[in-house]
Amino acid sequence: MNIVITGASKGFGRAIAQIFAEKGNTLLLTSRKEADLQKVKEDLTKNPDTCKVLVKAADLSVPEQAKAFGQWVLEQVGAPDILVNNAGLFNPGNILSEAEGSLDEMIHVNLYSAYHLTRTVLPAMMAKKSGHIFNICSIASLAAYDNGGAYSISKFALYGFSKNLRKELMPEGIKVTHVIPGAAYTDSWSGSGIDPKRIMEAEDIAKLIKAASELSVQACVEEIVMRPQLGDL
């Protein structure tokens, strides 16, 4: 399978890449920093009998770069079998006190990246009449919470994008899954003082994405909602 993962150098993206790093798969990975991508590629291909990994650094918050990355994917492998829209950024804040431009930044990173990349590769997927798109939303997509601000607004928007996409692609043979994780231990929590055992692991989300991708063509997991066992923080 040809699997595209954005925000692939750390956190959820890296965990998802790791779980799909199987012989016969080709992973097409992107994040902003070339050095981080090369490290992921090195780690995933230490075993020569594993997957093929192609990497390309891009800032997907810039529409032109998101579209260019999509074109690169099409040039490398054609229509992807799986697209994981995971690129994201979290800056805590309240609407009235967060820095000017916070909403623009969150919308560009958390929504426009997925929107423009998906639109670029979708015609090829539709021509193939197959594929699966996973949009990594957030518990913040479902309910407002303290210090959510622009981040929560952008994740609500991503959830709306994903739900619309699911409706539009039902007759096209393309699955769409809204992934809605609560707190999971990634770099965002590093230095926060949170006990890693209090929240989920990034690998938990990756395992469910892989399981959802392996169902029959007649079945589509529309939403994956995950929370820590002890509930949200």
Give dist(CA 199, CA 58) in Å, integer: 30
DSSP H helical ranges for the chain: 11-19, 34-44, 63-77, 102-107, 113-128, 149-169, 202-213
Residue 3 pairs in a beta bridge with 27, 82
Q: State both tokens at 192.
A: 């926060």
Q: Which residues contact 60 (CB under 8 A, 6 or more apart)?
A: 6, 30, 66, 69, 87, 109, 112, 113, 116, 117
Q: How far apart are the first and last CA of the chain?
A: 37
- Say which residue the tokens 């007649």 belong to: 218
Give dist(CA 196, CA 186) in Å, integer: 9
151 is catalytic: yes
Structural contact between residues 37 and 9, judged by C-beta atoms closer than 8 angstroms: yes
- Say which residue the tokens 């965990």 belong to: 15
Q: Which of 112, 151, 159, 185 is catalytic?
A: 151
Q: Which residues of 44-60 are buried (b: 16+ CB within 10 A; e: fewer)?
A: beeeeeebbbbbbbbbb
Which of 115, 36, 28, 139 lies closest to 76 in space, CA to CA?
Answer: 28
Please list the active-site residues.
151
